[in-house]
Chains A and B, each alone.
Chain A
C-alpha cells in the first residue's frame, strides 16, 4: 500500500495514470490468491477448527470470536469449511482448465497447421458442435451421465472449455504459420512435426495461457454450480457450491452459512480475473494502445 501512494504522484504527471492507478487492486488480488494458495496447500495454517468438527449444541451460532463466520446446521465452523473447501474448488477449476487447454491447443494447432484438410474440418466441426451447447448445459449433461464426483466434475467442465481453446489455438496458429520464421524453417527442410513442436507451439502458447488464466474463474464457478446442483463430491466433503445448496433451507435462521461461502467464491473469481486482465495487458500492450 505504501509503495503505491509513493508511486502515485510521480506517475500522475504522465498521461497514462490509469495503468498505475489500479495497482493497489492488483496487489490485493495477488494477496487474495496467495491466501487461497495457502488454504489449498496447508489449510490448517489458516483455520484452527477442522471442516468436519460436528458440535450440534452450537449449531447455527452466529459469527463470534470462536467461530469467525458462524457455524452451520451441524455446528461445523463455516470459516474452516470455506478454508478446507478451497482445495476442491481450485483443483476442479485448474484441473478442468488444463483438461480443456492441452487437448484444445493440440487440436487447434493441428487444425491450422497439421497439413490435413480432413483433420482441420473435423476439428472445427467438433468445436462448432461443442460450442452449440449453451452455457453450463454440456457440463450438466456429461456430469449427469458420469455421475457425481470431483473427477467427473472436472471432465464435464473441461468439455465445455475445449472449443474456446481450440478456436483460439487455431486462430493463433494460422497467424504463426504465415510468419517468416516458420516459412524459413519449412524452406530449410525441417519436418512438419518438428516445425509444429519447435516453432508453432511456443508461439501459440502466450495468448492461450492468458485465456487459460482468465478461464479458471469460469471453471471454478462452473464447478461450484455443479456442486450446488448436487453433482460435486459427496457430503461431508466441504465444497463451496454444496455449502451454498445446503444453506438454502436455513436462510431465515442462518444467513452466514449462505453469504460467506459465496463471498469466498466471488472474491476468488474477482482476484483471478484482475490478475488475468493484468497479464493480458502486459502481453498485448496497454489496454488503450490497440484501440
Chain B
C-alpha cells in the first residue's frame, strides 16, 4: 500500500513538474525568440514612441525574471493574459470556445472508435484478402492529412451533393468535421484493435468460449474485443494530441467555433497571449488525461502493481 501511495505521489509530482515546465517553455519561446514582439505586433510603420508605450503597457520593459515571475503568478490564478487583438482575457476566451471543441473531439473519437471496432470484428483473422483490404484502408487513413480529407469531404458532400453545410453549428454542421477528425484516428485504432483481436482469438479463453457454444460474432464482440481494447488505452496521449491538434485544422477548414479556430486566428494576427494560452491549456489537458489513464491503468492491471513497488 505504501508502495502504491509512493508511486502515486511520484507520478503526481512528475505531472506538476511537467506542467510547470510547459509554462516555462511557452514563456521562453515567446521571450527569447529573435525579434521584438512589440515591433512585430505593431508592424514596421509604428512610431518609436508608440512602440515604447505599448512595450510599457504590456510589461515588456521589465527585467525578464520579473516578467517570468509575474507570468507564473497570474497563471496560478488562472490568468493567461489578455488578447492583443480582442482585448479580452485569454482564459475567458478559451472557456467560451472549449465546449464547441469538446463536442467535436468527442464526436470524432466516438465515430473513429465505432468504425474501428466494427472493422476489427469483421476482419480479424479472416481470409488474407479482407485483412489486406483493411490494412490498405488503415494505411490510407493514417497517411491522409486532416486538412486534405476535410477538403475532399467538403467538395463531395457539401459542394457537389449538397448533403451537409460547409460551415455552421448544429448536428448537421457537426457531421463533416467529426468525420474528418475521425479519419485521422481510425487507421491507427483499427490496426491496433485488429492486432489485439488476432492475439485474443488464439487464446485459451476464446477456445473455451467457443467450446461452450458461444457464437462466432459473440466471441469476437465480447470476449476478444475486451482483450483488444486494453492496449488501445495506451494510445490516449496520442489521441488527445491528434484531437486537439486536429481541431486547429478542422475548425479552420469548416469555420467552426472552438479553441482551434481562435488559435489559428491568433497565429495569423500574431496574438501571442492567445497562442500561448491555448497551447498551455491543451498541454494541461494532455498531461491530466495521461495522468488519469496511467493511474487507472495501474489500478486496473494487477501485473503493473508489483512493478510500481520495485
Q: Which residues of A contact B (CB under 8 A)?
A: 18, 21, 125, 128-130, 132-138, 140-147, 217, 221, 224-225, 228-231, 241, 244-245, 247-248, 251-252, 255, 258-259, 261-263, 265-266, 269-270, 273-274, 291
Contacts and interface: CB of A to CB of B under 8 A. Distances in A.
Interface stretch (B43-51, B212-220, B266-274): B266-274
B267 A140 contact: yes
B236 to A, nearest CB: 11
B140 A228 contact: no
B18 interface: yes
Given A141-B276, A144-B270, A228 B144 contact: no
Interface in B227-257: 237, 240-242, 244-246, 248-249, 252-253
A158 to B, nearest CB: 14
21 contacts: A129-B21, A130-B25, A133-B279, A134-B241, A135-B245, A137-B278, A137-B282, A140-B267, A141-B275, A141-B276, A144-B267, A145-B272, A221-B145, A229-B268, A230-B267, A231-B267, A248-B151, A255-B155, A263-B148, A266-B140, A266-B144
A266 B145 contact: yes
Which bucket holds chain B's interface residue count?
35 or more
Contacts of B287: 132
B18 to A, nearest CB: 5
Contacts of B237: 134
Interface in B273-308: 275-276, 278-279, 282-283, 285-287
Interface stretch (B29-37, B60-68, B73-81, B170-178): B29-37
A273 B282 contact: no
A135 B246 contact: yes
B143 A269 contact: yes
Contacts of A224: 145, 147
Contacts of A241: 147
Most buried by A among B142, B143, B263: B143
A135 B241 contact: yes
Contacts of B154: 251
A262 B151 contact: yes
B143 A273 contact: yes
6 smallest CB-CB distances across A and B, nearest first, come from: A135-B245, A262-B148, A135-B241, A134-B241, A129-B21, A136-B245
Contacts of A221: 145
B72 to A, nearest CB: 15
A225 B152 contact: no
Given A21-B128, A255-B160, 14 more contacts: A132-B286, A133-B25, A133-B283, A134-B283, A137-B283, A217-B143, A224-B145, A225-B249, A229-B252, A229-B268, A251-B159, A269-B143, A273-B139, A274-B139
